[in-house]
Amino acid sequence: MANIKSAKKRVRVGQRNLKLNRFYKSTVKTLVKKYRIAIKSFESTKDKETYDHLKSLVSKIYSRIDKAAKKKVFHPRKAARQKSRINKILKKIS
């Protein structure tokens, strides 16, 4: 356990940042899982409503990834790579 005041503060800051990092990472993972499920349903039905749902999911994912990159949770290249892969899948099925 830390004895110095600044070390105690760093422990608190680290715990706070850990919670925020987990939040951003888990929300991105959850949205990507929903996106993959929506893609499978679109491939089976091929209707306009499902495609619109896919487009809205893509914008949510992009937003979340950009916010995570802005907060330094993701490296900028990792964020770009994830967005590129998501877009590549969408272009492939449409």
Q: pLDDT tens digits, residue range 23-53?
A: 999 999 999 999 999 999 999 988 899 899 9
The CB density around residue 67, as the number of other CB atoms within 10 Å, is 15
CATH number at residue 39: 1.20.58.110
Instruction: Provide the domain limits for residue 28.
Output: 5-93
Provide mean pLDDT across the span 55-66.
Answer: 96
CB within 8 Å of 64: residues ≥ 6 apart: 24, 27, 28, 31
pLDDT at 1: 74
pLDDT at 93: 86
pLDDT at 2: 81
The two three-digit tokens of residue 92, written as one number: 């492939």
Provide mean pLDDT across the span 46-65.
Answer: 93
Number of domains making up the chain:
1
| 3-state DSSP helix/strand/coil % of the chain, to nearest 5 | 85, 0, 15
Q: pLDDT tens digits, residue range 64-85?
A: 999 999 999 999 999 999 999 9
Q: pLDDT tens digits, residue range 3-15?
A: 899 999 999 999 9
